[in-house]
Amino acid sequence: MTTVVFLFLFVSIYFYLIFGGADFGVGILELLSSRKNRKVTKKIAYQIIGPVWEANHVWLIIVIVIMWIAFPNYYYIITTQLHIPLTLLLFGIVIRGTAFIFRHYDAVVDSSQSIYNKLFQYSSMVTPFVLGVSAGALISGKLIPVNTMEDYSFAEAFIFPWFNITSLLMGVFIASLVAFLSAVFLVGETSGEEQRIFIKRAKKANMSVAFSSLLIFGYGFYAEEVFIDHFFDNILSIILVIIAASLLVPIWIYLAKGKKVVIRVMVAIQVFLMLGAWAQSNFPSLIITTEGPVSIYENMAGEAVINSIAYALLAGSVLILPGLFHLFKSFGLFKVLPAPEKK
């Protein structure tokens, strides 16, 4: 049953990155758009993410519950040493959701709308960035072993583990990735000139993803990071990354044609391969400290607890997954719109 729990943990992280990422990306695209195009993005955001955006955080909750119950040692390390970026993440989620609601349903349209817009846009940028920073901290090798934290200063124990080049580059990578996911999603929800706008944004975001990933690997080589050794010691991880990179060619081809379903499937596969490469190269030592890797099996919950949470997850999936499919289908996730007209 441990395999079942691992599977749900991986799938929940993946779904949150895909669906929640596309949600966050709308705000990033809006922030980085011109005044004219910003209105277009805002209008599409209301039409598309308005009905479904709250459902995205279900996956984050599942991840937290699994970590808390099944892997308390990892949960303790993450929530203790990364409490600053995680607090910023929580604030970002709350502020973003609040601003989204108020700027849409506020009965009085006045200067406060500008404040709501800024809060929504900047929190949409900050939230995935600190999520990436937190993920980068796990593999940066800067985390302090929990049994020796009292020997370090506050900055050494709670700031430097995540405020480092590897973690910050990972933050840029995740922010770029969610912007790309959102642009790809919005390509399929628009047509004509609006669709051409989002095609251009998707290409720019995709280039940012590729560039930031190269920076992560480049700095990893330069600084001799442990995660680089883990990656190149694992043939399967290398193969997964090569396949993910090779998908860029068909993605750009079908992106230019505005093929909604095809590009969404390809991008979803690409993200799955990248996440799988990370998990494969580091598992079971998904956290790297200054004293070396920490296995997720270390101080794991007992068999009875693992069995209980596995059965609960299996039962819950019977209700959640069909409901999720119906929700997206109801709001036109699979409806194909015409490709942009060629000039």
Total residue count of the chain as it appears in this document: 343
Distance of CA 21 to the CA centre of its chain: 5
Contact 240, 266 (CB under 8 A): no
Which of 2-11, 31-40, 204-213, 321-330 shows the lowest mean pLDDT across its residues? 321-330
Predicted pLDDT of residue 145: 85
Q: Which tens digit of pLDDT belongs to each residue from 108-165?
A: 666 777 888 889 889 999 999 999 999 999 998 889 888 788 888 888 889 999 999 9
Predicted pLDDT of residue 291: 85
Return the structure tokens found at 188.
């399929």
Predicted pLDDT of residue 339: 47
Which of 7-21, 27-41, 223-237 shows the lowest mean pLDDT across its residues? 27-41
Residue 28: name the closest of 204, 167, 188, 193 by CA.
Answer: 204
Does 232 or 334 have the greater pLDDT score? 232
Predicted pLDDT of residue 343: 45
Predicted pLDDT of residue 72: 92
Does 234 or 51 have the greater pLDDT score? 234
Q: Which tens digit of pLDDT belongs to each residue from 243-253?
A: 998 998 888 88
The torsion angles phi and psi of 186, rounded to 5 degrees, stand at -75, -25
Predicted pLDDT of residue 320: 77
Average pLDDT over residues 260-279: 88
Q: Is the pLDDT of residue 286 over 60?
A: yes
Strand partners, 294: 287
Q: Which tens digit of pLDDT belongs to each residue from 65-118?
A: 999 999 999 999 999 999 999 999 999 999 988 888 887 776 566 677 788 888
Mean pLDDT of the chain: 85
Contact 10, 66 (CB under 8 A): no
**Percent of all residues in the chain with a pLDDT value above 70, rounded to a whole number:** 90
Reported as a pLDDT band with limits 50, 70 and 90, residue 47 is low
Listed in sequence order, the DSSP H helices in the chain are 2-15, 21-31, 35-48, 57-70, 72-81, 83-105, 112-139, 154-158, 165-187, 192-223, 226-232, 235-246, 248-256, 260-282, 303-330
Average pLDDT over residues 248-274: 85
